[in-house]
């Protein structure tokens, strides 16, 4: 059991540009995952299989891509000769995919997402180092018996349920919403500051991805928020199919503008399930006595949307 499968989905890690010094001018999702592997000399003697699952800028991530990814993950994780899987991904929606996989992955093998902030053609490309680290983390985690979903970026291992993009420009772009990384990994593959216990994945399985996606939207509370968008969504739903859920990206500890609250009562009465998260980067939203709408804990609004989709599908 020593093979590692690398599933490619696109992203900046597979991006290319004309000018190596202008790393911000590029197109994501251009190189194949096999090309990404070939560019890392340290991986030459590791038994790897590269499989292209999708080729998207992750800002365009979709249920359809997740379904494909789930199918491939299920297939390769079930193989006796496979120690674990690496997924190359864009940074923009990595938090959503990581959280979804955290909920669904079953079994005890490691699944490691990685990405890059600079395209493969940039002078300071971070993709090759991140990919090398991700493969080493699969090897080390498998050896330590640590299964589950993590993300490896810039020398840090983040829990799949906590990881999020926290900076839009720096190489050190991710954090855990106030939670520390699970471990640090150096450029020799050595781990330090390891957190215990290592989080286990949810184990819900892949069946849910075969279901059609229930419509769940995110609404932000802000100055002057009066529920206009919610009313528009309800009117649209009457013609085009049901709105099943709303995730609120509230202020502070998940609080809402009073103008929005009034309209949300109307939505709830029409059968829309409503959950509360926060637009604040750290601290999350805990349950409190008298809550009208359920609190989403530490999840980002986008992760909370994934959680609500799963809930509506019975997971």
Going from the C-alpha of 178 to that of each of 16, 132, 175, 275, the distances in angstroms are: 33, 26, 7, 21
Task: For residue 120, state whether it binds ligand ASP (rule: CB under 6 A).
Answer: no
Task: For residue 141, state whether it binds ligand ASP (rule: CB under 6 A).
Answer: no
Task: For residue 91, state whether it binds ligand ASP (rule: CB under 6 A).
Answer: yes
Tell me the per-residue interface mask from 27 to 56 with ligand ASP, x by CB under 6 A, - otherwise.
-x----------------------------
Is 12 in the active site? yes
Report the site for ligand ASP in 174-213 (rule: CB under 6 A).
Answer: none
Secondary structure letter of residue 277 according to DSSP: E
Task: For residue 115, state whether it binds ligand ASP (rule: CB under 6 A).
Answer: yes
Least gap, CB of 57 to ligand ASP (angstroms): 4
Which positions ≥6 away from 287 have C-beta within 8 Å?
Answer: 294, 295
Q: Is 69 helix (H, G, I), strand (E, B) or coil?
A: helix
Task: For residue 92, state whether it binds ligand ASP (rule: CB under 6 A).
Answer: yes
And the tokens for 295? 């609190």
Nearer of residues 90 and 176 to ligand ASP, judged by Cβ: 90
Task: For residue 216, state whether it binds ligand ASP (rule: CB under 6 A).
Answer: no
Nearer of residues 87 and 142 to ligand ASP, judged by Cβ: 87
Going from the C-alpha of 281 to that of each of 98, 139, 170, 246, 251, the distances in angstroms are: 17, 32, 17, 20, 11
Gap between the Cα atoms of 223 and 251, Å rounded: 10
Task: For residue 117, state whether it binds ligand ASP (rule: CB under 6 A).
Answer: yes
Bridge partners of 153? 156
Among the listed residues 17, 70, 84, 90, the single contact to ligand ASP using CB under 6 A: 90
Gap between the Cα atoms of 90 and 56, Å rounded: 8
Report the site for ligand ASP in 69-88 (rule: CB under 6 A).
Answer: none
HSE-up (13 A, CA, CB side) for residue 282: 8
- Closest-by-Cβ residue to ligand ASP is 90
- Give residues in contact with ligand ASP (CB under 6 A): 11-12, 28, 57-59, 90-92, 115, 117
């Amino acid at each position: 059991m020593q093979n590692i499968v690398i599933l490619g989905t696109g992203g900046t890690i597979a991006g290319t540009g004309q000018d190596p010094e202008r790393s911000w001018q590029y197109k994501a999702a251009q190189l194949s995952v096999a090309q990404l592997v070939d560019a890392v000399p340290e991986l030459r003697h590791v038994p790897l299989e590269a499989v292209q699952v999708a080729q998207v800028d992750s800002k365009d991530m979709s249920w359809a891509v997740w379904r494909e990814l789930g199918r491939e993950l299920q297939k390769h994780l079930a193989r006796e000769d496979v120690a674990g899987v690496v997924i190359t991904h864009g940074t923009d929606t990595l938090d959503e995919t990581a959280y979804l996989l955290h909920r669904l992955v079953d079994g005890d093998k490691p699944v490691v997402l990685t990405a890059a902030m600079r395209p493969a053609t940039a002078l300071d490309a971070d993709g090759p180092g991140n990919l090398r680290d991700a493969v080493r983390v699969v090897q080390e985690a498998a050896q330590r018996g640590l299964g589950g979903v993590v993300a490896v970026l810039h020398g840090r291992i983040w829990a799949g349920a906590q990881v999020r993009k926290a900076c839009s420009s720096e190489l050190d772009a991710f954090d855990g919403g106030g939670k520390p990384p699970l471990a640090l990994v150096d450029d020799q593959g050595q781990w330090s500051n390891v957190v215990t216990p290592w989080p286990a994945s949810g184990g819900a399985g892949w069946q849910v991805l075969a279901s059609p996606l229930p419509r769940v939207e995110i609404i932000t509370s802000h100055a002057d928020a009066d529920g206009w968008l919610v009313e528009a969504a309800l009117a649209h739903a009457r013609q085009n199919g049901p709105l099943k859920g709303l995730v609120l990206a509230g202020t502070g500890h998940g609080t809402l503008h009073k103008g929005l609250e009034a309209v949300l009562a109307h939505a709830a009465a029409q059968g829309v399930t409503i959950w509360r998260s926060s637009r604040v980067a750290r601290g999350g939203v805990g349950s409190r006595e008298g809550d009208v709408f359920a609190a989403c804990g530490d999840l980002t609004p986008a992760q909370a949307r994934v959680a609500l989709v799963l809930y509506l599908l019975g997971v």
